[in-house]
Chains A and B, each alone.
Chain A
C-alpha cells in the first residue's frame, strides 16, 4: 500500500547529496501529491479568475470551486462551512483570534496555554495580555515534556480561565494532548477554547463537533496542501461576534465615506483577493486524504514510529524526549552533549532531511534545559527503508563525532 502511495509524491523520488532523499521533516511541511500540484497548475492554466466578483463564466466557476473546498473542509472537520475562515496559515489564524477576542478580556482574566506551545500560540496571547492586563498562565508538564493531565485539569478548575489555547499535538515532541478532556473541564467556566491543530489535521483527522472546541486552527501545507494557506474553524456565534481583523475589499457589505458595514462571517475575515489557487490545491489534498484508508494509514504510521523509536533507543547515548505513548510520529532526540546542528548537518550528507533546533518552542526547550533537539517527523509516505537509512546514517554520524 505504502509503496503505491509513495509514487504519488514526486519529491520523494529526488536526491540530496546524490543520495535518495529520506524526508523526515513533515512536521515542518509535508510533501505534496501529484494531484495537488496538478490542481494548482490546472487552475492557472485553465481556470484562473478572481472569486466573488464579476458575472463572467470563469469567475463564477472559480467561485464555485473555491467555496466547494470550504464545504469539503467543513465536512472533513464535521462542522458547517460558514464556520470556516481561510487565512494565510495557523499563525495568521491565531493572531486573528487573539485580536478578535481581546475585547472580551479585562484586567485579571486568565489566558491559559500549555508549555508545549509553538511560539505562534504564545506570542499573540502575550501581546494581548500586555494590552488588556490579562494574565498568561501555563499548564504543568513533567521533566520529559509531557503534559500532566490531572494537574492541568486541577489548574483549569482553580484558574477558571477566560481563554484556553492548547495544541492538539506538539510540533516539537509529537505528544498528542487529550484536548477533549481539557475542554470538558473548562466548559463550566464558559472558557473560550482554542485548539492549535497545525500538527493534528493530517495525523489525527479531528472531529471538531466531538472535540467541542470553540476555535481550531491549521495550516494547509502541513496536510499535503500548498503553502501560504491555512484557516480556522470558529463556533459561529463566537466567530461572527468578533470584530474584523483586517479591512479592505471583498469583506465589506457597503462602504461610503461616512461609514462601512461589514459582511457576516466568514466573509468579514477574508479581506482582499484570497489565496484561490491555494484553496483549490488544498481541495485536491482533501480529496487525496478522503481517498485513502485513514485507519490503515494511521496504523502504518504508528508501526513505523515504534520501529524508529526502538531502533533509536537501542543506540547508547540517545535520549528521546516527549510522550512516546501518545504520539503523532515525531521523535525529538539528543545524543549526549552533542549539538543538534552537527548531527543534522552530517545526516544531510546521507540524504536524510531532519529538523534541528528549538522548533519555535523556546519556552519548552528551556523547560527541558535543552538548546534544541534533532527532530525526525514521519508521515505515512515514509518507508521502513527510510528509517533504516536514517539509523545507519546516524550510527556513522555518531562514530564520526566520537572520533
Chain B
C-alpha cells in the first residue's frame, strides 16, 4: 500500500479499535530488522519504546531506502506509515514531505499519548536530518 492507500484505508475505518488493528497489521507487513542492525546508533532518541532506524540511498544512489523496527507492534505500524511517506523518494522530494503533519491530518497525533506524539516527531526529524547529511 502506498501512503494514499493507507490514508484512505484508515479514514474509512470507524473507531479506534479498528484503526489500531489496521496500524498493527501494517506493522506486521514491515520486515523485522535483523538483530545485528538493532544497534545503539540506530536508536531514535525521544521515543518511549525502542525504535531503530537506518536510512540510505538505493543502488542507483538516487532514491531513499529506510528500514526501521520497534519492539511494540503499534509503534511498528506507525513506522510503516512513516516509511510509506518517504521510501523510494528522491532526497529533495522527501524534504518536502512532513509525515508528522500527515499524522495530524489523520487525527493520529491527537489520539496518541503526548509522549508517543513526540516519538513520531522525533522519527520524522531523524529522517529529515539524515537526508540533510546526504545533500
Question: Which A residues are closer than 8 A to B by beta carbons?
Answer: 17, 338-339, 341-342, 345-346, 349-350, 371, 400-401, 403
Q: For the A-B complex with A342-B24, A342-B72 known, give 19 more contacts whose Cβ atoms are closer than 8 Å.
A: A17-B16, A338-B73, A339-B49, A339-B73, A341-B49, A341-B74, A341-B75, A342-B73, A342-B74, A345-B20, A345-B74, A349-B15, A349-B20, A350-B17, A371-B71, A400-B21, A400-B24, A401-B73, A403-B21
Instruction: List B contacts of A346 (CB < 8 A).
Output: 17, 20
B3: Cβ under 8 A from any A Cβ = no
Instruction: List A contacts of B25 (CB < 8 A).
Output: 403
Q: Can you list 12 A-B contacts with CB-CB less than 8 angstroms, sorted by A residue number?
A: A17-B15, A338-B73, A339-B73, A341-B48, A341-B72, A342-B24, A342-B73, A342-B74, A345-B20, A350-B17, A400-B21, A400-B24
Bound complex: CA A350 to CA B73 (Å): 18
Chain A residue with Cβ nearest B70: A339
CB A347 to nearest CB in B, in angstroms, measures 10
Bound complex: CA A349 to CA B74 (Å): 13
Size category of the binding interface on chain B: 10 to 19
Type the 1/0 row for B53-72, where 1 means its CB is closer than 8 Å to any CB of A: 00000000000000000011
Instruction: List B contacts of A339 (CB < 8 A).
Output: 49, 71-73
Chain A residue with Cβ nearest B77: A342
Bound complex: CA A349 to CA B71 (Å): 21
Chain A residue with Cβ nearest B50: A371
B residues 1-56 in Cβ contact with A at 8 Å: 15-17, 20-21, 24-25, 48-49
CB B51 to nearest CB in A, in angstroms, measures 12
CB B61 to nearest CB in A, in angstroms, measures 36
Instruction: List A contacts of B74 (CB < 8 A).
Output: 341-342, 345
Bound complex: CA A341 to CA B21 (Å): 14
Given A339-B49, A342-B24, A403-B25, the answer on whether A349 and B16 have CB atoms closer than 8 Å is yes
Chain B residue with Cβ nearest A350: B17
Bound complex: CA A82 to CA B74 (Å): 52
Bound complex: CA A369 to CA B76 (Å): 23
Bound complex: CA A339 to CA B74 (Å): 9
